[in-house]
Amino acid sequence: MSLAVQFHDLHPSPASTSLRDEILTGFRADQKFASPKFFYDQRGSELFDQICEQPEYYPTRTEEAILAEAADDIAEIAGHEATLIELGSGASRKVRLLLEAMRPSSYLGIDISRDFLLDSTRRLAADYPWLEVHAACADFCCNMALPDGLCCERPVGFFPGSSIGNFDPQAAEDFLRGLHSLLPTGSGLLVGVDLVKDKPTLEAAYNDAAGVTAAFNLNLLERLRHELHAKIDPANFVHHAFFNEAHSRIEMHLVSQLPQVVTIEGERFSFLEGETIHTENSYKYTLEGFQALAGRAGFEALSSWTDANSLFSVHYLTR
């Protein structure tokens, strides 16, 4: 019962997955690409929070409404005194919708953005003095281990926001299978998944009128300038996001507005006019499609909730 947040170092730490190596590999490819996890420096995490407030970006408010509505059901399935473990906890806002109903004994927030994580878990600890709060800075994409002791007390994973949509379906399945082997029998996993819907609604969500998503996408280049001393001018690129129906995913790109050469760590990369850096995929599922994927990873989809317009879904998986 303390206001302090217990901080853990998890493997792999974000530093050990190198921005430099992964960016260089991506820029050497025929279709240049960068992992969307690199969006989330301090500024990127702030911009993402602003995206969540844009009128066109339906996922956040829809998921929050679903969670608020389903909180009692979720608490009944998960039981009290659980250890709630949030993957990619960001501002730790959504978990607040569950805390009063679930009354977990402890909460562990895991995020790639260290300062952001510390701020938000401290605020959580201050607002919920009865909750034991832990924080771990980690890139949870791969082979994650949980802090000793925490893994065994009735863990319930919480993976909201359709972050799972950043993985392609095979990688999502592999990721869930990894969590399946990490979590003991009897544990639960609450996952938010964005649903397939009409193209205009999807495309508007990634092209907000205020230009916040564009700024978020372009901030990646600012990050390369600051952290890798890249010679790259963000003004020479524009944001492009569209729904690729064949793959059931939103794609985000940065489009070169002219033929140009950029330099990263002394290595030169040339762009044709119109050539892109593919910066994100955000896969959209049907309810049944996601349940089947979870099943292939070894989980049972015990309950699923959605909103009246079937925009978004929340799934309680058990193992």
Q: Which residues bind ligand AVJ (CB under 6 A)?
A: 51, 59, 161-163, 165-166, 206, 213, 280, 282
User: Do residues 44 and 34 make contact, with C-beta atoms less than 8 angstroms apart?
Assistant: no
Within 10 angstroms of residue 4's Cβ, the number of other Cβ atoms is 9
Matching residue, tokens 């947040």 = 5
Instruction: Compute the least distance from the CB of residue 66 to ligand AVJ, in Å.
Output: 15
Matching residue, tokens 């994973």 = 157
User: Do residues 147 and 8 make contact, with C-beta atoms less than 8 angstroms apart?
Assistant: yes
Paired residues of 263 in beta bridges:
231, 268
Ranked by CB distance to ligand AVJ, the top (closest) residue is 282
Instruction: Pick between residue 188 and residue 192 the one whose CB is nearest to ligand AVJ.
Output: 192
Tell me if residue 135 falls in helix, strand or coil. strand
Instruction: Compute the least distance from the CB of residue 192 to ligand AVJ, in Å.
Output: 8
User: Do residues 191 and 40 make contact, with C-beta atoms less than 8 angstroms apart?
Assistant: no
Instruction: Pick between residue 164 and residue 294 the one whose CB is nearest to ligand AVJ.
Output: 164
Instruction: Pick between residue 59 and residue 155 the one whose CB is nearest to ligand AVJ.
Output: 59
Instruction: Compute the least distance from the CB of residue 160 to ligand AVJ, in Å.
Output: 9
Instruction: Compute the least distance from the CB of residue 282 to ligand AVJ, in Å.
Output: 3
Angle between helices 42-51 and 212-228 (to 10 degrees): 170
Q: Tell me how far the alpha carbon of residue 197 is from its chain's centroid.
A: 20
Kindly give, in sequence order, each residue whose CB lies less than 8 Å from that of residue 142, ignoring residues fewer than 6 positions away.
12, 17
Nearest Cα residue to 72 out of 307, 317, 319, 316: 316
Nearest Cα residue to 168 out of 70, 299, 35: 35
Instruction: Pick between residue 64 and residue 280 the one whose CB is nearest to ligand AVJ.
Output: 280
Instruction: Pick between residue 39 and residue 128 the one whose CB is nearest to ligand AVJ.
Output: 39
Instruction: Compute the least distance from the CB of residue 224 to ligand AVJ, in Å.
Output: 18
Instruction: Pick between residue 111 and residue 173 the one whose CB is nearest to ligand AVJ.
Output: 111
Quick one: tokens of 184? Answer: 């003991």
Instruction: Pick between residue 104 and residue 192 the one whose CB is nearest to ligand AVJ.
Output: 192
Nearest Cα residue to 167 out of 14, 6, 281, 46: 281
User: Do residues 272 and 259 make contact, with C-beta atoms less than 8 angstroms apart?
Assistant: yes
Quick one: tokens of 270? Answer: 């040339």
Instruction: Pick between residue 60 and residue 106 the one whose CB is nearest to ligand AVJ.
Output: 60
